[in-house]
Amino acid sequence: MAAEALGFSPWLQYTLLALFIALVAVPVFYAAWTVVKPFHLPVVMTAAECARAADVIYKHSTREVLAPSPDDCAVCLERWEEGDTLTELPCGHMYHPPCVRACIAGSLPLRSKHANNLTDVVEAVCCPLCRRPMVADPERVVRLMRRKKAVLY
């Protein structure tokens, strides 16, 4: 070995190797990781996956209620009457069931382009009026989506 030819003892060889790793290799790998990290691929969902995922999110984050009094739906701006069946979100806002489903399904393709994982996509689904998250436990909903084959990854 070249180090032995130069008269370096094994102890000095290991010390120099440790210094090389600490001073050169670690900073190089760290710099490479910080450059590559922003380029993680976004979540890509097909239209069919978005529809199935929206169905799972809708079923596990909303509840059906009767309209307490006449008012307007903030999504379609149509009036509902007392006793109509509405969908209530966790924030307390109420909408027509098709309006909420359309909001969820419409937001998933956009959200998925800006997320690195499916949990981020589910967390980003929010109330159309107050923007509060619609899903209380995103990991649970993601597990349900995968179990029901709503998404392929």
Instruction: Output the pTM of the full model.
Output: 0.63
Instruction: Taking residues 18-35, report their average pLDDT.
Output: 81
At the topology level, CATH places domain 47-147 in Herpes Virus-1 (3.30.40)
Q: Is the pLDDT of residue 36 over 70?
A: no
Task: Write down the domain spans for the chain.
Answer: 2-39, 47-147
Question: Is the pLDDT at 89 greater than 70, yes or no?
Answer: yes
For every residue of 40-80, DSSP letters joined together read PPPP---HHHHHHHHHHHHHHH-EEEE-SS-EE-TTT--EE
Q: Smallest Cα–Cα separation from 74: which of 90, 87, 59?
A: 87
Q: How confident is the model at residue 3 (pLDDT cuts 50, 70, 90)?
A: low
Measured between alpha carbons, how far is 137 from 105 in angstroms, rounded to an integer? 18
The answer to whether the CB of 58 falls within 8 A of the CB of 106 is no
